[in-house]
Structure 1
Amino acid sequence: MNTTPLAHLQVVECATFIAGPSCGLSLTQLGAEVIRVDLPGGGSDQLRWPLAHTGASLYWANLNKGKRSVVLDYRTPEGRELLLALCTRPGPGAGIFVDNMVGRHRVTHENLTDRRPDAISVHVLGFPDGRPGVDYTVNAAVGVPNMTGPGSSAEPVNHVLPAWDLLAGASAALGVLAAVSRREQTGAGSRLDIALADVALSAVGSMGWLAEAEQHGDRPAHGNHLFGSFGTDFAAADGRRVMVVALTEGQWRALCEVTGTAPVFAALETALETDLRHESERYRFRDTIASILRPWFAARTLDELTTQLDGARVLWGPYRSMSEAAATARADPGSVARPVDQPGIGEMLATGYPLRWEDHTSAPVPAPRLGADTEEVLAQSLGLTGNEIGRLHDLGVVACDPARTSG
């Protein structure tokens, strides 16, 4: 069974932060050769937090797992020529470029098609008109922070997960595969642009939130309650907290049975003239339902809740800290997270691709040192000699991994 279906693809990535690099990460975890190109000294995300105890970026190391690293100064004429040559090298799986470059040094789709008419380019940007934007500013503009947080506060609440960046990266990777398929069928190249603002707007629109706002006005924030059904958090006897959800009639019945509250809710239905088998009604009376269930949860520890809720097949999950999540993942032999020996950091818990191929998970591969593959890529892909690479190195056009060259 082949778990590297994209081994025939060669992608050049010239992108920083999350969206572009996460696109390349998905492609490389599915087998593609992804060459990340950085300026000498690294890109603007080279030392982005969080950092390892060595001072190296855990962020950079995890977003660039399995890629090859080439350092060249594409701001110089010779460096730009090398970048263009890499992006348009011959081969049925080559000629693919992913970037979020801006300014006068940007490599455009037209620059690529001048050399390779069937080139594929994916350009990541903030807004479709070229204005800058990042996940957190786009998220603010699309209205999500006003729907987040406690209902008692009128202030917007940001979330820490860069959802639009990650979704943009996944969409960009899908775009690459669609463009490759088109090229294989027609011989034509493709210019793709993906803006974070479009990704965010498309996503909230797909969930009906835009239509909801036009028809009913803005949805208020309401804390940890699940919108449109029943779901909220409860405190356990030992101070731990759990999230409990009842989307379906079966899940609601299981929750009532395990907590022994079925008679109480039957009486409540009669008194309120409602039917809690319908999730809309469970949402309508969410506060009342939570107040009835809360004492049952408060009388039991997390271990006790785990046994009873799992046994009753209730839809629930414990709240964990990130360190607890890491420890749980490390202890799980079937987890997509496994330790790797990362250059410059040491042992690091990293993750492979989340898609399971017939129960098989791909092991994470360490990220390269910055510039670790410069010499090899320039020699193998562009046919440069050692003397030519040495000259470019002396001119500051390219840079290699010091750890490799010192050896």
Structure 2
Amino acid sequence: MPNQTSKVSKGPLAGIKVLELGTLIAGPFCSRMLAEFGADVIKVESPGAGDPIRQWRVLKDGTSLWWSVQARNKKSITLNMKDPRGQEIAKKLALDADIIIENYRPGVLEKWGLGYEQLKAENPATIMVRLSGYGQTGPMKDLPGFGAIGESMGGMRYVSGHPDRPPVRIGISIGDSIAALHGVIGAMMALRHRDVTGGRWNGKRGDDCVAGQGQMVDVALYESVFNMMESLVPEFDYAGVVRERTGGALPGIVPSNTYTTKDGQNIVIAGNGDAIFKRLMSAIGRDDMANDPQLARNDGRVPRTEEIDGVIQAWCDTQAIDDALAILKAADVPVGKIYSVRDMMSDPQFLARGMFEQHAFKDGTPIKLPAVSPKLSETPGETKWLGPDLGEHNEEVLGALGYSAEQITHLRHEGVL
């Protein structure tokens, strides 16, 4: 089982230094993925409470179980960023980093002397990933913007739920997570550009300065969600169509919906391919519909959506979920049960793919975590240690910057650490 001490990274991002200046979800999830694939991530937290996510949802000994995942492989240091001495330490770390990830409101880092332009003036290879509600520009840039707001403004909430009810929240912080993934993609593209234009900064200025071109990656939560919205814009612009809530159905692609079996279980059936539809209808005893020329193509099925869904539901009313799954899988029809986490953790596919990792807390208590994704054949990601204690790496990180044990003790007593 991995222990709680730092190890040398061996993933595809080994040697890449990342400074995380952020809390909660979007920024930390972004740096978490880099850490899972070998980057050396230093997370800055405020002294005392640290990242608020440490106290979110289910706790063990006062610390969130979520923290075990969100901060795995990271080094935690504490800095009072309102103190000039804390800002000085953060700046040293930032100038030495390959990538800086932050999710404060626009302007906060600039007040601390850590803005992108300020750091770029000293290190031209600076790559800064900035995640915020509305981006670094525009009339709304200074407003607080959480993931829920980004999901709403970006269009996701409007299309989520049933048509006769108010919009619903997806059961996870999807807006933050989508923004984080955009941050990872942006960071990797910026890193590639830096490397092909000269590489890492050598710390010198003038003619002997060797550095690739860094850049700012400006990620807005609402834009990240908006980027997921498929054909929303051209459908409205060309045809005046406003996509609405449709419950479990996939409108205009028939049949694809959620149905209920006789034992009260929910099952998703996606029989919307032309050949698949024919197999589906034959499997449920409706050869008449399988061979109906009008239903041979999707454009013919759409006007009869309600009829088709009714036929499928009538069949599901006669089937227990296991029987329905077996019949449709045998007919090569895409079908699936809607999984809870209990279903996942006993499912043969999840287990065969190694989607759960066994670890242990410092006191020996066992804990399972989700495995790292995606799966790379030659340089897979891994969990080296669980989310660290608050300030666990203060001595290690500050010592590497040249601070003596006495200086570190003094900074702690002064409330800087």
Q: Residues 330 and 218 of structure 1: is their aligned pair in 2 closer, same or farther, counting only changes over 3 Å?
A: closer
Q: Indicate yes or no: 2:268 matched with 1:246.
A: no
Paired with 1:347 and 1:73, the residues of 2 have a C-alpha distance of 34
1:317 Cα deviation from its structure 2 partner: 0.8
Corresponding residue SS for 2:195: helix
Residue matched to 2:208: none
Distance apart, 1:189 and its partner CA: 1.7
Task: From 70, 78, 81, give the equivalent of 2:85.
Answer: 78
Corresponding residue SS for 2:374: coil
Pairing of 1:139-288 with structure 2 (within 5 A) = 139-153=151-165, 155-186=166-197, 187-204=212-229, 207-214=230-237, 215-229=239-253, 230-266=255-291, 269=292, 275-288=294-307
**Cα offset, 1:330, TM superposition:** 10
Partners of 2:37 and 2:382 within 8 A in 1: no
Residues in 2 aligned to 1:179 and 1:114: alpha-carbon distance in whole angstroms: 17
Aligned partner (choices 356, 369, 372) of residue 350 of structure 1: 369
Matches within 5 A, 1:57-72: 57-72=64-79
Partner Cα distance (1:182, 1:173) in 2: 14
After TM superposition, give the deviation of residue 96 of structure 1 in Å: 1.9
CA deviations 1:185-219 (Å, max 9, x no partner) are 22122122111122122332xx1101212323322
TM-score normalised to the size of structure 1?
Answer: 0.86
Q: Which residue of 1 aligns with 2:203?
A: none
Q: Percent identity?
A: 23
1:391 and 2:402 aligned = no
* Structure 1 residues 50-92: Cα deviation after superposition (integer angstroms, max 9, x where no partner): 2234332122222111111111112111111111101112xxx
Tell me if structure 1 keeps the 8 A contact 2:150–2:225. Answer: yes
Higher relative contact order structure (alpha carbons within 8 Å, sequence separation ≥ 6): 2
- Residue in 2 aligned with 1:132? 144
Aligned residues: 383
In structure 2, do the counterparts of structure 1 residues 162 and 189 end up closer, same or farther at CA, with 3 Å as the change threshold? same
Distance 1:363 1:216, change over 3 A: same
AA at the equivalent of 1:158: R
Cα distance in 2 between the residues matched to 1:164 and 1:200:
6
Q: CA deviation at 1:158?
A: 2.5
8 A Cα contact 2:156 2:225, kept in partner: no
Residue type at the aligned position of 1:319: I
Which of residues 309, 312, 325 is equivalent to 1:293?
A: 312
RMSD of the alignment, in Å?
A: 2.5
Deviations 1:244-285 (A, max 9, x none): 01232222122122212122454xx4xxxx622322333332
Residue 255 to residue 309, structure 1, CA distance change in 2 (3 Å): same
**Deviation at 1:363?**
4.0
2:390 to 336, 349, 370: 370
User: Contact 1:344 / 1:369 at 8 angstroms: preserved in 2?
Assistant: no
Deviates more, 1:354-363 or 1:388-397: 354-363
Change (3 A) 1:65 1:143: same
CA distance in 1, matches of 2:325, 2:174: 29
User: How big is the shift at 1:173?
Assistant: 1.2
Counterpart CA distance in 1 for 2:126 and 2:12 is: 21
3-state SS, counterpart of residue 410 of structure 2:
helix
Segments of 5+ residues of structure 1 without an aligned counterpart are: 399-407
User: The residue matched to 1:280 in structure 2 has which SS?
Assistant: helix
What are the superposed Cα offsets for residues 15-40 of structure 1, whole Å, 9 maximum, x if unpaired?
Answer: 11221111101111111111111111
SS of residue paired to 1:317: strand
User: Given that residues 343 and 369 in structure 1 are in contact (C-alpha distance below 8 angstroms), is that contact kept between their aligned partners in structure 2?
Assistant: no
CA drift at 1:344? 7.6
CA distance change for structure 1 residues 321 and 368 in 2, over 3 Å: closer, same or farther? same
What SS does the corresponding residue of 1:291 show, helix, strand or coil?
A: helix
SS at match of 1:332: helix
